[in-house]
Structure 1
């Protein structure tokens, strides 16, 4: 189906600005992966699907002169247009892309594919890619081997409900018997999001879709638990700068002809 999940529509609409502030950037090595593994250069046409506020688009922008962002949530598109007025951002979903057949050399989804991972989306992405085109999937994954990161997961997980999430692995299902793409090929990079606790913890997790969409009383409870963690955990208490550990997972998916 092409309807945007309620958690994304409501959560991202109310927290678009906070999303921009709190979400981590990406490791420098990912630029090399985009150029040499996805084959992006200044002559290639590239789509950033589920572009949000343009966090990942900024990494793509220096690599190609033909870049289009697709984002279904209006509030996110407005935030994108404020930050990246030189890049076209258009309304569309993965299941109904407003693009011509075979018009794209590479399509990238950062922090987004789990929202629309189904056979229809893969077929539509296959349609717009040229023969030999490539699909890239990227996620920043929290390093839960760190105890306070695992505690954040414990705080937010009870609220996720039926929200599509990367960690469930359900995004892999469309690839299992796909005639559109080969199996995802993984490259990993370590990354730390550095900043104040307000930025890398509070803004980051209050902008999580299903947290941002909560009623105010429940959102206040999550806020209180996160603040207590920051104030009491020895690795966080009193720190001006927090290093939030991630593993950036980048997947190459080759279009089958």
Structure 2
């Protein structure tokens, strides 16, 4: 199976066409997450860490700054190229969650940031278990929009009709492979308040045109989505401000590798 066949079409097409929008529009991560990485996952100098589904490297750079020995695995060539341009000292490999180019037990910590919902399946869990050392640690991280704000919920209403079959975090289906399995301990969550501060074009237009299933649309439909998002300025004064603070909650989940059953 080729890499392009083993990832969802929306991810392959969308992330190939929009690496620059992704880099501009996606939020960074809260400072408090650095403490969680060190205290819970044990990310520190010299530790072997894999960033799986690394994209353009927004999360990878946190791991590199901690002094970890980082390997970024990303199946989409355009995203991996952007990562290597920004982080030339990080080893970046083509691979998927189901087929990582790593030896058995080669990794102390494996992290998926903004990515696990794309490959939430039993085969991926088995492959993660294979590459992690005994008692190795698995981390899953997402920046999740805070839809308790009416204007944020309105943005979701604009993009949701286009999602089709693309796997989405909000459905919760990503948790299903962990039910009844014996490869990892039960997932433990930690939540951090977060925000993305910038112009409307950055935190709304770039952010949501970089969503995989939006980026994969024909140009005319992408432009229609952008027009719908800009029309929200007429309803919500906050979107007309020169600087917008977009609210998120960062969810960080932890599990430990168990002995092979």
Quickly name the TM-score band, shorter chain normalised: over 0.9
Secondary structure, in 3 states, of the residue corresponding to 1:102?
A: coil
Gaps of 5+ in 1: none
Verify: 1:199 aligned to 2:202, yes or no: yes
Give deviations 1:23-73, integer Å, cap 9, x for gaps.
000000000000000011112100000000000011111213411100000
What residue in structure 2 maps to residue 248 of structure 1?
A: 250
Secondary structure, in 3 states, of the residue corresponding to 1:136?
A: strand
> Structure 2: how far apart are the matches of 1:171 and 1:35?
25
Pairs aligned (count): 256
CA displacement at 1:126 relative to structure 2: 0.3
Q: Which of 66, 77, 84 is residue 80 of structure 2 equivalent to?
A: 77
Equivalent residues of 1:45, 1:64 under 8 A apart: no
Q: Which of 173, 176, 179 is residue 173 of structure 1 equivalent to?
A: 176
> What are the equivalent positions in structure 2 for 1:68-217 lying under 5 Å apart?
68-217=71-220
Gaps of 5+ in 2: none
Secondary structure, in 3 states, of the residue corresponding to 2:220?
A: helix
CA displacement at 1:231 relative to structure 2: 4.7
What residue in structure 2 maps to residue 228 of structure 1?
A: 231
Equivalent residues of 2:53, 2:115 under 8 A apart: yes
Regions of 4+ moved over 3 Å: none
Equivalent residues of 2:196, 2:245 under 8 A apart: yes
Equivalent residues of 1:197, 1:230 under 8 A apart: no
Secondary structure, in 3 states, of the residue corresponding to 1:98?
A: coil
CA displacement at 1:219 relative to structure 2: 1.3
Secondary structure, in 3 states, of the residue corresponding to 1:201?
A: helix
Give deviations 1:146-204, integer Å, cap 9, x for gaps.
01100000000000000000000110011001111112100000001000011000000
> Structure 2: how far apart are the matches of 1:64 and 1:253?
22
> Structure 1: how far apart are the matches of 2:120 and 2:255?
13
> Structure 2: how far apart are the matches of 1:83 and 1:119?
33
TM-score, normalised by the number of residues in structure 1: 0.97
> What are the equivalent positions in structure 2 for 1:19-34 lying under 5 Å apart?
19-34=22-37
RMSD after superposition: 1.1
